[in-house]
């Protein structure tokens, strides 16, 4: 599937995302109150909660650009992890 990203996920992966994307982080860096609203708004583009996280890279990154202060999903994840674990 050209242009799509597929990451092995599972319960631990989803729990980690929930841990790093705190309400404080989401309110500070995005247009969303919490990570749940972000997931809901992007559900058209991303398969959330399965054994794999699957998304069209360009489309999802454009959503991130429009609704956050980040240029890519990867940049957003890295910043959230840095803030949570630093």
What tens digit of pLDDT does each residue of 16-48 get? 999 999 999 999 999 999 999 999 999 888 888
Q: pTM of the full predicted structure?
A: 0.92
> What's the structural domain count of the chain?
1
Three-class secondary structure assignment of 45-58: CCECCCCEEEEEHH
List the alpha helices (DSSP H) in the chain: 11-20, 23-29, 35-42, 57-67, 73-85
Residue 80, domain extent: 4-85
């Amino acid at each position: 599937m050209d242009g799509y990203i597929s990451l092995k996920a599972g319960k631990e992966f989803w729990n980690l995302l929930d841990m790093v994307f705190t309400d404080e982080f989401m309110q500070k860096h995005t247009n969303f109150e919490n990570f749940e609203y972000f997931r809901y708004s992007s559900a058209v583009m991303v398969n959330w909660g399965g054994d794999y996280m699957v998304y069209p890279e360009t489309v999802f990154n454009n959503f991130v650009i429009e609704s956050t202060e980040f240029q890519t999903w990867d940049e957003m994840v890295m910043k959230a992890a840095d803030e949570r674990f630093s």
